Structure formats: C-alpha cells, structure tokens
Amino acid sequence: MASPVKSLCIVVPKAEGESVRKKLLDMDNLRKDLIVDRDESNVFFPIFKKMDLGYDVKEMDFKEAGVVVRSYIDVIDIPEELRPLLPTSFDIVGEIAVIRIPDDLKDHSSAIGNAILEANKPIRTVVSDEGVMGEHRLRKIEVIAGENNTTTVHKEYGLSFSVDLSKAYFSPRLATERRRVAQKVQEGENIIDMFCGVGPFSIMIAKNVSPVSIFGIDSNPYAIKSFMDNIRLNHVENVVPIQGDVRDMLGSLEPADRIIMDLPHRSFEFFEGALGALKEKGIVHYYEILTEVAARDRENELSATARNLGRDMEIEEQRVVRRYSPTQCHFAFDIKVS
Ligand SMILES: C[S@@+](CC[C@H](N)C(=O)[O-])C[C@H]1O[C@@H](n2cnc3c(N)ncnc32)[C@H](O)[C@@H]1O
C-alpha cells in the first residue's frame, strides 16, 4: 500500500460538500491526485493552497489516487496465500499498463498481466516496471502480457503525447503539476524547459498561453524525436526542441523569464546554471526528490547558491507533487529570483 501524502485540506460539513467541491474545481484548487476523505460529519477536500471560503483549513494525510484495480484481482488465478501481495494500483500510459510487481510475485507476472488485460479492455500491453535509471531516466520495463509494443499515445487534459516507454521518460503522475505550472505562465514569456523529455510541460504551456516562446532541452535523442512528433500532434507553435546537454546549450539561449527543472534526482547540480540563464527577474520551477528534513536544508542551500551569484530569491510556494518512497517525496519549489 502506498504511504499517505500530507496536504492542506478544507473541512466542509457533509451537506455542503458538493457545492464546495464544484467551487474548488472552478478555482482549480482541488487536488485530484489525492483521494477525498470523510468522517461522520465532514468531507476533507485536499487543496493546493490555503483559501478562505469560511471553512477550516488544516494539514492531514491523504491516500494517493491511483487506478483501483480490484477487478484484475477478482479475475486472477494465483495461490490464495499470495493474494495479499498483489499490487492494488498501476499506472496507465495510453494503452499500456505499467505495474510494479513485488519480488515474491515475479513468477506470476504473466498471470498478473493477463488478468489486467482481461479486466481492462482498453489496455493492450502490460509491462512490469523495475524503476527509472541512467542519465536519460529510462524506465526498465518488460512486456508481461499483450502486444509486444511499448509505443503509445497518452491523453492528458486534452493533449496527446506519443512516447516509447522503453526509449524516453514519461510519467502520467505529473499531469496535475504540469497543468499547475502552465496556468502560472503569462503571455509573452520566454521559457526554458531544461529537461523536457517528450515535451509535456512545454506543450501544455504552449497550448495554454499565447504568445509564448519555449525552448525544450533534452540529451536523449529519442525524447527529442518524440517531442517533435508531439508538437505536430498537438498543433502548437513557438516550441523549439533542442537535443543536447543543458550545460552546453543554456549559454546560447536568450535569458528566460521562467525555467523548468524537472530532473528530480540531480536538479541541485544544475541550479547555478539555471540562475545564469534567467533574466534579472524570473521564476524557477525546481523539482527534487528529498526527505522532509532534507527539503528544509535544501531551501538554505538554494538561497546560498543564489547569494553567491549576487541574486536574491524567495520560495513562493513549496509543495509535495507525490510520495516517492516511504521516506522521500517529490517536491516542487516555485522560486522567485531577483
Ligand atoms: C524526469 S525526465 C523529465 C521529463 C519531462 N519533464 C516530463 O514531464 O515528462 C528528465 C529528462 O532529463 C534528461 N536529461 C538528463 N540529464 C540531462 C542533461 N544533462 N541535459 C539535458 N537533458 C538531460 C533525460 O534524458 C530525461 O528525459
């Protein structure tokens, strides 16, 4: 079972739950990545940021909203004593189900894959996920059932992203985060998406705001090729994919109003370079996987790096994008630099 995620929430008496839910949706302040909680009298809606609707706001633990797959568990044929080990959720990327299989169930991978296919008609391929690794953050996957094809088109907020999961990084779990960032962008901004992958941040922004100019950099040639396909698929303009190492590329770009740094295992080593590529005033969307204690230290280290370069910075917003492991979270820092 995934560990709970801490989030701000608004506490609403049950009778008023539905009208408040609609208000939160209208205001884009309802976290859809977490499951709404209830007790006998109240509904607890997880929210992105504090707001005053006349109800209490507090912090509490929520379960992550994965895809509940009880139905595959209903149809699978495995020894009874192994059932409690079956994963209760998996990710869906386009028509591919991506599932982490515990070691004790590895011998039953194809039974799990076939049960998922049987219970989820739109899925045509099931892959086991052994984690993300290497410079290109490639997911180590193995087809365990269905078509031997790891290329698919994933739909997210009306956009289409083509990806070969064996050749480029993509995670559907960042959808809410990509949308949140896109909604902050102002017309006319110049943006650098430093680790763009197949382009979902860049494309979501270009679709949301116009005019805007976006340069997306990635060292993985397959990611850049898919990014180009995705620009065509979504009919966006003013998005320029660049293949190469950001350390070699940043110097040739115009200074940016906003920089996205989505390389959450190594962002800190690139932060100084990002500051150098930013206009006198700008925003950095900085992502890193950290424990809560390390996240507090990181704030000081980011400020010290900025100070050494003669810049001021403040963290406008810090939030947990998702729980990464029992002790670590994927953090987002919105950093205002001047
Ligand atoms: C976590 S993925 C980012 C995915 C993307 N932002 C998204 O939302 O799907 C990180 C990406 O950084 C790229 N990368 C890693 N080191 C790099 C470097 N030094 N220069 C450019 N790209 C790099 C990897 O190839 C990978 O595609």
Give me the pLDDT at residue 74, please. Answer: 86
First to last CA, the chain: 43
- Helix H or strand E segment including 93: strand 89-93
Give me the pLDDT at residue 28, please. Answer: 83
Q: How confident is the model at residue 69 (pLDDT cuts 50, 70, 90)?
A: very low
Torsion of CA 37, 38, 44, 47, to 10 degrees: 20
Residues 286-312 have a mean pLDDT of 95
Q: Which atom of ligand 1 is nearest to the CA of 195?
A: 12
Give me the pLDDT at residue 66, please. Answer: 66
> How many angstroms does the Cα of residue 234 sit away from the middle of ligand 1?
21
Q: What percentage of the chain reaches a pLDDT higher than 70?
A: 98
Q: How confident is the model at residue 32 (pLDDT cuts 50, 70, 90)?
A: confident
Which residue CA neighbors atom 22 of ligand 1 most closely? 218
Share the mean pLDDT of the chain: 94
Domains detected in the chain: 5-62 (3.30.70.2580), 67-149 (3.30.300.110), 169-337 (3.40.50.150)
Look-up of token digits 């370069």 = 309
Look-up of token digits 């109800």 = 55
Which amino acid appears at position 75 of this protein?
Answer: V
- The listed range with the strongest mean pLDDT (35-39, 82-86, 151-155, 326-330) is 151-155
d(CA 12, CA 328): 30
Residues 282-288 have a mean pLDDT of 98
d(CA 136, CA 268): 17
To test the ligand 1 pocket, which listed residue (174, 263, 287, 330) has its Cβ within 8 A of the most ligand atoms?
A: 263
Any idea which of 43-47, 73-77, 282-286 has the lowest mean pLDDT? 73-77
Q: Token pair for residue 167?
A: 């050749």
Q: Which atom of ligand 1 is nearest to the CA of 178?
A: 8
> How many angstroms does the Cα of residue 193 sit away from the middle of ligand 1?
9
Q: Token pair for residue 95?
A: 């028509």
Give me the pLDDT at residue 70, please. Answer: 54
Give me the pLDDT at residue 251, please. Answer: 93
Cβ(93)–Cβ(170) below 8 Å: yes
Which residue CA neighbors atom 6 of ligand 1 most closely? 196
Residue 260 has pLDDT above 80, yes or no: yes
d(CA 91, CA 46): 21
pLDDT digits (tens, 9 = 90+) for 266-282: 999 999 999 999 999 99
Look-up of token digits 């303009």 = 237
Residue 78 has pLDDT above 60, yes or no: yes
Give me the pLDDT at residue 141, please. Answer: 97
Q: Which atom of ligand 1 is nearest to the CA of 193?
A: 6
Cβ(205)–Cβ(257) below 8 Å: no
Q: How confident is the model at residue 67 (pLDDT cuts 50, 70, 90)?
A: low
d(CA 30, CA 16): 15
> How many angstroms does the Cα of residue 101 sit away from the middle of ligand 1?
25
Which residue CA neighbors atom 26 of ligand 1 most closely? 136
What Rg do the C-alpha atoms of the chain give, in angstroms? 21
To test the ligand 1 pocket, which listed residue (218, 243, 250) has its Cβ within 8 A of the most ligand atoms?
A: 218
d(CA 217, CA 198): 10
Ligand 1: which residues within 6 Å by Cβ? Answer: 135-137, 169-170, 174, 195-197, 200-201, 217-220, 223, 245-246, 262-263
